[in-house]
Structure 1
């Protein structure tokens, strides 16, 4: 796990100043505290910050191929590198290290861009091929590891693991992409389709980019996609056995490390499954860690302790106060772009705890997206069944009329909140799912925007890219399309960004075994009823893990990391809430109507409405714009 950065001159191979690349790397020093180096040649410069995980002393970067014809900087881990190394050796490849970096170089020299489907891992890397004078950038299938890039006025392209690295280059213009504001308020993060800074792009997950001197900037090329278009034909028992095998294989492959290794353990299904399979494959106690909260209703530490006891793990737990609002500025600096997933705070805390005893931690991320574990998946499945009974021409006016007259009751239990259900049924499957994922609904966003911003935004709506993604998905059902959108849009933009920045901020490598592509490809072919049955999501996974985990772990209500932002904004952050409307950064943009922001804050503080998520978004946006000097 590391940080990478570099400069490549597209037009002519001008000299690259090593000090400039070094400065870009220094901006992401937290990603690689164990070493740094820079390599330059005419028209190119590559920089690297290293966090040593495998082959601690023998794989420094930037790394040259054995014949000196290619140079690599690499962030991530390749879990099948030993198998690839053996295969490449049969073709005559020679190796001088015991790590995975040299295997990537040899694979590139043997197969070129076609090496990517052979790599099982999480990665973002850059290879400069000296004979062809080309720079090859690539990102892993799910976007576990990030990669930003931008074209500059001097004809160069810069890239780096985080936006910080690009911001360290003096020629990068700091100008807000106004459409990123619409995206951010809708999702709570800036998705991979955009960046907060105009002109900065994120290489999408499962894409590569091949640059050459003297040629124009190309568009990224997709090298892998997940398909939900086919279905398994086997018996349920056989599919259960295969799923369990793939789960074990995924976990075991991610346990290779030359440094202390452990796991996050929340006591939920996913992290508990990972720990159970780690314990099965380990000849010593698994190191686990969990964070508990003092607030009743937020604390899952008893469940984590139950799992730790069951598998005799070396468990470390810590109770923390959820009232860590003083760390807001730390979170802003960690993410660069505005990021409003409030669970980033406890995620960071558990990463801090893990780093005290391990350098690598396995997480349970990815199972909900791959196996249908979210409540919204159940709603999508059931609503699509109703949509299938009535044609759009009848359904839309019928349920639209009911939604218009039904009272809004956000305070009520979900079965009584029929208004949102009627609105969903009146919409297309894709539009309804996109809206269900929104943190700030379209109407609320529109009410905050000034006339100037509405004119600037034009016809664009944040939901459009997700709707288009779902409509073009290789899928058979509405559930397929929802999970496809989660894997391609939500997962890299929110969940994986959160874990990457939180873990790397403390020099910890987080690995996601439940995102092994073989496991996800298998899950995508499961019939709907084996993903969701009744009220149970991840149905086949729970059945497969029933021999390892008790029912009160497998079937208790799902609960994620929670931060009490509603209480914060009615208590210690009430002043911050009131100050959002007067914030200098937002005021300078002229994109919001301050009076409407102030009304929202007062309604929340007074207990008349719960606008905590919207206020958190606006607070993080104000602080991010201020820190980046973008307003």
Structure 2
């Protein structure tokens, strides 16, 4: 796992300031503390920070082809690199290392931009081909690894694994994109391809960007998308056997490492399945890591211990205080843009624990999206059955009225008692799903933002992100549609972002067997009834794991990786949240309705309402303003050092 960065002159061969490139590279020291490397020639500069995982002795980067006309910097892992080497040797390529990085160089020479189609893994890389005068950027299919870029007005292109490397250049304007702010307060993150800054973009998942010297205009090109065909009619028994095989292969590939390796173990279905299969593939005990909370409502430690004992793992667990809220400013600096998933706190802590024992950890991330595990999926399908019973032209006025008039309808059947359900029934399927996952829903954002801000976004809504992806989903299956939406939005913008930054803060590589793209593609061929059946999510995964995992692991209620925000904001963080939310920094933007902010704080702290999620979202935006937007760009290394400081 590494950090990459670079500078490219799209217009010519202007000299690259080596000191500036080094500053950009060192801003990501935490991503690769083992080694650093630069490549500089007229018009091109590439930087790399290395966390050594494979080919420890000869895998340094930048890495070159035989005549050094092709150069690459790479973040991630190509898990099938050993399969590609014989094919490339047969084509006449000569290898000087045993690293997966060198496969990228020779694959580019052999197949050009189509090389990414051959790679199985998590990756973000930049490749410079001097003979073709071409810079090629690529990001993996599910965007496990990040890649940011910005084309400056003078034709200079900047790129890097984190926004902080672009900021370290010094020329990137720190102008906030109001459309990104709208997305953030709806979703808790800024959705791809936008970033919080107007000039910068994220390379979308499954895309490449090809820039040729003298041709400054270039647009990302998609090389992969997921199609839910749902046409695989195999039996339950056959599906369970195939899933077991595919999971085992995915995990086996991700266990290739020359440094200590282990797994996160929360006690949930996904991480428990990964550990169970790892144990069957490992010659010795698996290293497992979990954190316990001193608040029983959030503690899954006993379930993690059950799996650890069953498979006799080398289990490491640490107790985290339920008042572990001192990471707010640290997280703001790590994420570089507003990010409001409070589970970033325990994720940061479990990565901190894991790094004491291993350098590589396998996780269960992606399981909910791939196998259909979120509770909201089941609720959405229930609503969909009702929506399909009457036309939208009837539903919208009828349930829209009910949603406004009946905040609490105890007289109705149970599934109709919630105001949210009434509102959802009046919407289209995509509108309803967006509404259900929003942190501050449409009416709340209308009250939160001032008239000035609404003029700046000019009618834009974060819902447009969902409409765009829904238009490309190529399915009318209700579950497949929302799985596709999550794969394009929540998985990328929230889950993968959270894990990448939290793990890289501790120089820990996290691998994702449940996001193996052949596995994801195969699951998309299976009917939705094998994913959600009745009130049971992850139906197929649970059936496939019944011989490996106990019933009380497979079929217990999902807990999630949460923290007690509501209690914090009425107790130990009472004054801090009030000062931040009602303080001068937010007010200075002119974007927020101060009366509504005061209502959120007062109503929550009095116990009248639970506004913990909206308040956390506001709190983290204020922390971003102070720690990133207002930070001096002259010393990025100090910024990162502060972010890494023990807490």
Which TM class, normalised by the smaller chain length?
over 0.9
Partner of 2:72: 72
In the aligned structure 2, how far is the partner of 1:171 from the partner of 1:418?
Answer: 50
CA contact (8 A) 1:336 1:628 kept: yes
**CA offset digits 1:244-291 (Å, max 9, x no partner):** 111111111100000000000000000000000000000100000100
| Structure 1 spans left out of the alignment, 5+ residues | none
Q: CA deviation at 1:397?
A: 2.3
* CA apart distance, 1:92: 1.4
Q: Secondary structure at the match of 2:271?
A: helix
Equivalent pair of 2:365/2:515 in contact (CA under 8 Å)? yes
Aligned to 2:404, the other structure's residue is in SS state helix
* Distance in 1 (alpha carbons) for counterparts of 2:523 and 2:437: 22
Deviation for aligned residue 1:415: 4.1
Q: 1:469 is matched with which residue?
A: 469
- Structure 2 CA distance for aligned equivalents of residues 56 and 229 of structure 1: 42
**CA–CA separation in structure 1 for the residues paired with 2:624 and 2:401:** 41
- Stretch of structure 1 that moved more, 557-566 or 157-166: 557-566
Find the counterpart in structure 2 of residue 304 from structure 1. Answer: 304
Indicate conservation of the 8 Å contact 1:175/1:630, yes or no.
Answer: no
**How big is the shift at 1:60?**
0.6
CA displacement at 1:390 relative to structure 2: 1.4
Q: Say if 2:4 and 2:75, in contact at 8 Å, map to a contact too.
A: yes
The structural deviation recorded for 1:572 is 1.3
Structure 1 residue runs of 4 or more that deviate by more than 6 Å after TM superposition: none
Structure 2 distance, partners of 1:96, 1:524, is: 39
Q: Give the TM-score, by structure 1 length.
A: 0.98
SS of residue paired to 1:242: helix
Q: 1:589 to 1:565 in 2, by over 3 A?
A: same
Aligned ranges 1:91-106 → 2 under 5 Å: 91-106=91-106
Matched with 1:50 is 50
* Larger CA deviation: 331-340 vs 265-274: 331-340
Aligned-partner Cα distance in 2 for 1:460–1:561 = 32
State how 1:185-584 maps to structure 2 within 5 Å: 185-408=185-408, 415=415, 417-584=417-584
Please tell me whether the aligned partners of residues 53 and 258 of structure 1 are also in contact (alpha carbons under 8 angstroms).
yes
- In 2, the alpha carbon distance for the partners of 1:468 and 1:123 equals 25
- Closer/same/farther in 2, CA of residues 178 and 262 from structure 1, 3 Å limit: same
Check whether the contact 1:533–1:539 (CA below 8 A) recurs between aligned residues: yes
Q: Identify which range, 233-242 or 261-270, moves more after superposition.
A: 233-242
Task: State the distance in 1 between where 2:153 and 2:391 align.
Answer: 53
| Contact kept? 2:80, 2:253, Cα under 8 Å | yes
Aligned to 1:184: 184
The offset of 1:602, in angstroms, is 1.0
**Structure 2, unaligned runs of 5 or more:** 632-647
Distance 1:450 1:538 in 2: 42
8 A Cα contact 2:187 2:438, kept in partner = yes
Deviations 1:220-250 (A, max 9, x none): 0000001113420222211221111111111
SS for the counterpart of 1:168 is helix
Partners of 1:140 and 1:409 in 2: CA distance: 47
- CA 1:408 to 1:199, structure 2 compared with 1: closer, same or farther past 3 Å? farther
Higher mean Cα deviation, 326-335 or 359-368? 326-335
- 1:393 CA drift (Å): 1.8
* Shift in Å, 1:577: 2.0
Preserved CA contact (<8 Å) 1:583 1:622? no
Q: Distance in 1 between matches of 2:516 and 2:576?
A: 42
Does the aligned pair in 1 maintain the 2:231–2:525 contact within 8 Å? Answer: yes
Q: Is the 8 A contact 1:32 1:50 kept in 2?
A: yes
Shift of 1:217: 2.4
CA–CA distance in structure 1, aligned partners of residues 618 and 408 of structure 2 = 24
SS in structure 2 of the partner of residue 136 of structure 1: strand
Note the 1:23-42 alignment, pairs <5 A.
Answer: 23-42=23-42
Q: Specify whether residues 400 and 596 from structure 1 end up closer, same or farther in structure 2 by C-alpha distance, changes over 3 A only.
A: closer
- Number of residue pairs the alignment of both structures matches: 630
User: 1:623 maps to what in 2?
Assistant: 623
Say which SS state the counterpart of residue 149 (structure 1) adopts: strand
Partner of 1:597: 597
User: Aligned to 1:461, what secondary structure does the other structure show?
Assistant: coil
Residues 129 and 135, structure 1, Cα contact 8 Å, conserved in 2:
yes
Question: In the TM superposition, what whole-angstrom CA distance separates every residue of 1:49-105 from its partner, at most 9, and x where no partner exists?
Answer: 000000011111011112322000000000000001111111111111111000111
Which deviations, in whole Å up to 9, do the C-alpha atoms of 1:483-539 show, x marking residues without a partner? 001111111100000000000000000000000001101111111110101111110
Q: Aligned to 1:76, what secondary structure does the other structure show? A: strand
Q: Secondary structure at the match of 1:326?
A: coil
Structure-2 separation of matches of 1:584 and 1:321 = 31
Q: Is the 8 A contact 2:266 2:272 kept in 1?
A: yes
Partner of 1:138: 138
Structure 1 stretch displaced more, 577-586 or 435-444: 577-586
Structure-2 separation of matches of 1:487 and 1:630? 33
Task: Summarize the Cα distance change of 1:329–1:413 in structure 2 as closer, same or farther, 3 Å threshold.
Answer: farther
Once residues 41 and 581 of structure 2 are traced to their aligned partners in structure 1, the CA distance between those partners, rounded to angstroms, is: 50
- Contact 2:155-2:216 at 8 Å conserved across structures: no
Partner of 1:125: 125
Inter-partner Cα distance in structure 1 for 2:408 and 2:44: 58
Structure 1 CA distance, aligned partners of 2:11 and 2:425? 53
Report if the CA contact (8 A) 1:580-1:598 is conserved: no
User: Is the CA contact (8 Å cut-off) linking 2:232 and 2:525 kept in structure 1?
Assistant: yes
Aligned CA distance change for structure 1 residues 67 and 408 (closer, same or farther; 3 Å): farther
SS in structure 2 at match of 1:215: coil
8 Å CA contact 1:174–1:630 kept in 2: the answer is: no
Give the conservation status (yes or no) of the 8 Å contact 1:126–1:136.
yes
SS of equivalent residue, structure 2 residue 444: helix
CA contact (8 A) 1:530 1:539 kept: yes
RMSD after superposition: 1.5
Q: Compared with structure 1, are the counterparts of its residues 471 and 383 closer, same or farther at alpha carbon in structure 2 (3 Å cutoff)?
A: farther
Distance (Å, rounded) in 1 between the aligned partners of 2:160 and 2:480: 33
Q: Distance in 2 between matches of 1:247 and 1:478?
A: 26
The residue aligned with 2:640 is none
| Distance across 1 between alignment mates of 2:581 and 2:422 | 33
Cα separation, 2, equivalents of 1:425 and 1:608 = 27
Report the Cα distance in structure 1 between the residues aligned to 2:285 and 2:335, rounded to whole angstroms. 34
Deviation, structure 1 residue 586: 1.4
Q: Using the TM superposition, name which of 614-623 and 416-425 deviates more.
A: 416-425
Please report how far the alpha carbon of residue 471 of structure 1 lies from its aligned counterpart in structure 2 after TM superposition.
Answer: 2.9
